[in-house]
Amino acid sequence: MDNNSTQDAGSASSDLSTSEPLNRLFRHLQQVLIGQDQIVEQVLICLLAGGHALVEGVPGLGKTRLVKSLAMACGGSFNRLQFTPDLMPSDIVGHAMFDAKSSEFTLRKGPVFANFVVADEINRAPAKTQSAMLEAMEERQVSLEAETLPLPTPFMVLATQNPVDHDGTYPLPQAQFDRFLMQLVIRYPAIDDEIAIVQAAASAQSHDALAKQEIITLEQLQALQTQTSRVHLDREVAAYAVRLVAATRHWPGLEHGAGPRASMAIVSAGRAHAVLQGRDHLLPEDVKAVAIPVLQHRLGLSAELEIQGSSVEQVLTLLLDSVEAPRQ
The C-alpha atoms of residue 248 and residue 295 are separated, in whole angstroms, by 9
178-226 confidence digits (pLDDT tens): 999 999 999 899 999 999 888 888 876 565 666 678 899 999 999 999 9
Domain locations in the chain? 1-213, 230-328
Could you tell me where the DSSP H helices lie in 61-126?
Answer: 63-73, 90-93
Average pLDDT over the chain, rounded to an integer: 86
Task: Tell me the CA distances in angstroms from 201 to 98, 139, 160, 248, one per residue in order.
Answer: 47, 39, 21, 43
In the prediction, which pLDDT does 37 show?
92
pLDDT at res. 173 = 80
| Closest of 239, 256, 253, 273 to residue 16, by C-alpha | 273
pLDDT tens digits, one per residue of 161-173: 877 666 667 778 8
Could you tell me the pTM of the whole model?
0.87
In the chain, the percentage of residues whose pLDDT exceeds 70 is: 89
How high is the pLDDT of residue 17?
53
215-270 per-position pLDDT tens digit: 999 999 999 999 999 999 999 999 999 999 999 999 988 988 999 999 999 999 99
Q: Under CATH, domain 230-328 is a member of which superfamily?
A: Magnesium chelatase subunit I, C-Terminal domain (1.10.8.80)
In angstroms, the CA 240 to CA 71 distance is 33
Distance CA 13, CA 2 (A): 16
DSSP states of 199-215: HHHHSHHHHHHHHT---
Rounded percentage of the chain residues whose pLDDT exceeds 90: 50
Topology alike, domains 1-213 and 230-328? no
Q: 66-89 pLDDT, tens per residue?
A: 888 888 898 888 898 999 999 999
Tell me the pLDDT band of 10, cut-offs 50, 70 and 90.
very low
Left, alpha or beta for 146 (phi > 0: left; psi -120 to 50: alpha)?
A: left
pLDDT at 286 over 70: yes
State the fold for domain 1-213. Answer: Rossmann fold (3.40.50)
Q: Which residues pair with 48 in a beta bridge?
A: none
Would strands 156-161 and 53-56 be described as parallel, antiparallel, or unpaired?
parallel
Interhelix angle for 260-276 vs 218-229, to 10°? 110
